[in-house]
A and B are shown apart, each in its own frame.
Chain A
């Protein structure tokens, strides 16, 4: 059957929903801390490990937009499984697909496509988290053979992987970086124990120790860091799609709950306070979906900053939505058997991995400062979005003005003011999300209006903070200097003593 890509994706999503609806018990997987073999086999049978692999190598050959739709569909059922598949399809497979030689692609891609081999990506180390340039893992070149030494941490799919792409630095020489494809198992690679985590407990996370492990370089000499950043941009986009899936699940569960749970002789969803929560959840999700679709539709080479926008907005959005879901479920929300707590636990790490949001915002802020353009990612043309588009233009004008003032007043030294960079970045993220929501106004005008207004308000709030010059920076420095100096000698502040003694009864 030869279907249009969008229709084909809808069929696949429906099939994923049907199969995973039967096969997945996310709570049980979380309790056991592993993905059962039967579930991985079902995932293989659906072809999900091959979503991003070109069809000539046995994969589905899907672009990033449908890949994201499928990862979101998997995440609705089990975020741990979505993390396993998403990491494999994104960070795991991308370097090989984009950089591999014909021989490397012919050897590995068919195995990755079938899921016979699961891919992983190892960059983080004890001393290199958000700052990947400081990695210590090294490699030595011996003709066309490369030997890798060092230890990587927090490797997703670590215990499942048959192929891991490793970011390493050349020993001696100019010290350039490289991505190396290291096949597993081999005696020179030690797999650590499974980490005990807050969430994503069924997804494998281990350390990997390399003691002269054999690998092959992917891509040009010296391009490793650049290639890693490109792969991370794909990975962040796929991760954002996972956040959409978790958020969708939380909203669905919340809708079922608030329309059935009765208090004070009414369904709790009828109360204004509940409607405020539910509408905010739906609007945020609407913007998240629009943003992921937009970013995933870009060329891989142009994903850098947009993927950061999507990652920050979607990871924070998923955390907000699951938190609201938990609140609306009341005491039941904190019971593990309800499944809401699992959604909240599973998405917490998304604000941390594949670039901690705090650090990503600083980087994004420096780019906003250097470039100064507002993210006009929508086009006008729908009557219903005219007012929103005008509102957006006003806010975009404020961003450009404030950015110019920061640049003029601080010059290049503005890069040392993380508060400025983060505020600029948050304004940029808000405007980008609003822009994507506006572009979808024809799908649902109310959701688009709510989403765009909320995101624009957040952007303006950040810019207003910058404009008035926030004195808290100095206060924060004074408080933290004091706390760091006093260390553990913190005492509970005493209440002022009463001037007179109160007699005991």
Chain B
């Protein structure tokens, strides 16, 4: 997951940490958040809703979000 975020933002994967806020610390905006969701949707082969982006605030949130969907 950290790799996906690092790739999307074109930053060093080592600089992505669980507690980081996607917006304030990593500079994601509403569009990048949706792009992340779209990437996850493609990689996990599941349909995600735009409203799901509201759930994802930190890097750890993203990991939990993916784990929950994979468990379904």
A residues with a Cβ closer than 8 A to B are 132-134, 174-177, 222-223, 225-226, 229, 362-363, 366-367, 369-370, 407, 411-413, 415-416
A367 with B27: CB separation less than 8 A: no
Which A residue sits closest to B9, measured CB to CB? Answer: A133
Task: Determine if B24 and A176 form an interchain contact, defined as CB atoms under 8 angstroms apart.
Answer: yes
Q: Is there a chain A Cβ closer than 8 Å to B3's Cβ?
A: no
B50 contacts chain A at the CB level, 8 A cutoff: yes
B10 CB–A CB distance under 8 Å: yes
A229 to B27, CA, bound (A): 11
Residues in B with CB closer than 8 Å to A175 are 15, 20, 25-26
User: Chain A binding site: helix, strand, loop or mixed by DSSP?
Assistant: helix
Identify which of B24, B34, B37, B42 contacts A223 (C-beta below 8 A).
Answer: B24
The answer, among A133, A174, A225, A415, for a CB contact under 8 Å with B34, is A415
| Residues of the A chain whose Cβ atoms lie less than 8 Å from the Cβ of B7 | none
Contact check, A411 vs B21: say whether CB atoms are below 8 A apart.
Answer: no
CB atoms of A411 and B30 under 8 A apart? no
Return chain B residues, CB-CB under 8 Å to A174.
Answer: 17, 19-21, 25
Interface pair A366/B34, CB less than 8 Å apart: yes
Which of A134, A363, A369, A416 is within 8 Å of B27, CB to CB?
Answer: A134
Please measure, in the bound complex, the distance between the C-alpha atom of A176 and the C-alpha atom of B48, giving whole angstroms: 29
B interface with A by C-beta (< 8 Å): 9-10, 15, 17, 19-21, 23-32, 34-35, 37-38, 41-42, 47-50, 52-53
In whole Å, how far is B22's beta carbon from the nearest beta carbon of chain A?
10
Q: How far is the CA of A226 from the CA of B42 in the complex (A)?
A: 29
Q: Please, how many angstroms separate the alpha-carbon atoms of A225 and B23 in the complex?
A: 8
- Chain A residues with CB under 8 Å of B42's CB are 413
B49 touches A412 (CB 8 A): yes
Question: Contact partner of B30 among A177, A367, A412, A416, CB < 8 A?
Answer: A367
Q: Contact check, B25 vs A413: say whether CB atoms are below 8 A apart.
A: no
Tell me if B25 and A416 are in contact (CB < 8 A).
Answer: no
B8 → A minimal CB distance (Å): 11
17 A-B residue contacts at CB 8 Å?
A133-B29, A133-B32, A174-B20, A176-B21, A176-B24, A222-B21, A222-B25, A225-B23, A226-B24, A229-B29, A411-B41, A411-B49, A412-B37, A412-B49, A412-B50, A413-B38, A415-B31
CB of A355 to closest CB in B, whole Å: 12
Would B48 and A225 count as touching, CB distance under 8 A? no
Q: How far is the CB of B43 from chain A (nearest CB, A)?
A: 12
Q: Is the CB of B41 within 8 A of A412?
A: yes
Given A369-B50, A407-B50, A415-B34, A133 contacting B41 (CB threshold 8 A): no
Most A CB contacts (10 A, CB to CB) among B9, B25, B49 go to B25
Closest to A410 in B: B38
B34 to chain A, nearest CB (A): 4
The complex places the Cα of A270 from the Cα of B40 at a distance, in Å, of 61
Q: Which residue of B lies closest to A407 (CB)?
A: B50
Do A226 and B49 have beta carbons less than 8 Å apart?
Answer: no
In the complex the two chains form, what is the Cα distance from A261 to B10 in whole Å? Answer: 57
Which of A134, A176, A416 is in CB contact (< 8 Å) with B35?
A: A416
Residues of the B chain whose Cβ atoms lie less than 8 Å from the Cβ of A134: 9-10, 27
- B25 and A176 contacting across the interface, CB-CB below 8 Å: yes
Which of A229, A362, A370 is packed against the most chain B CB atoms within 10 Å? A370
Residues of B near A225 (CB, < 8 A) are 23-24, 27
With known contacts A133-B9, A411-B47, A412-B37, A370–B30 Cβ distance under 8 A: yes
Interface contact B34-A412, CB-CB below 8 Å:
yes
Q: Are the C-beta atoms of A411 and B48 separated by less than 8 Å? A: yes
B32 to chain A, nearest CB (A): 7
Query: Is there an interface contact between A412 and B48, defined as CB atoms closer than 8 Å?
Result: yes
Known contacts A174-B19, A175-B26; A413 and B31 CB within 8 A of each other: no
Closest Cβ–Cβ distance, residue A40 to chain B (whole Å): 36
Q: What is the distance, in angstroms, from B14's C-beta to the closest C-beta of chain A?
A: 11
Most chain B CB inside 10 Å of its own CB: which residue of A225, A411, A412: A412
B47 (CB) vs chain A CBs: closest residue: A411
Distance in angstroms between the alpha carbons of A225 and B30 in the assembled complex = 13
CB pair A415–B35 under 8 Å, yes or no, is yes
CA–CA, A177 and B23, complex, Å:
10
**Is B32 touching A177 in the complex (CB atoms < 8 A)?**
no
Q: How far does the alpha carbon of A174 sit from the alpha carbon of B19 in the complex, in Å?
A: 9
A413 x B41 contact (CB < 8 A): yes
Chain A's nearest CB lies how many Å from the CB of B12? Answer: 10
Q: Who on chain A is nearest to B17 by CB? A: A174
Q: Could you say which residues of chain B place their CB within 8 Å of the CB of A132? A: 27
Q: Across the interface, which residues of A come within 8 angstroms of B49, CB to CB?
A: 411-412
The 3 closest A-B pairs by CB, nearest first: A133-B27, A415-B34, A222-B24
Q: Contact check, A226 vs B20: say whether CB atoms are below 8 A apart.
A: no
**Which chain A residues lie closer than 8 Å to B35 at the CB level?**
415-416
Q: Measured between alpha carbons, how far is A416 from B27 in the docked complex, in Å?
A: 19
Which residues of A lie under 8 Å from residue B41 when comparing CB positions?
411-413
B-side contacts of A222, CB under 8 Å: 21, 24-25
The distance in angstroms between the C-alpha atoms of A134 and B29, with both chains bound, is 12
Given A134-B27, A226-B23, 15 more contacts at CB 8 Å? A133-B32, A134-B9, A174-B17, A175-B26, A176-B24, A177-B27, A222-B25, A223-B24, A225-B23, A226-B24, A366-B31, A412-B34, A412-B50, A415-B31, A416-B38
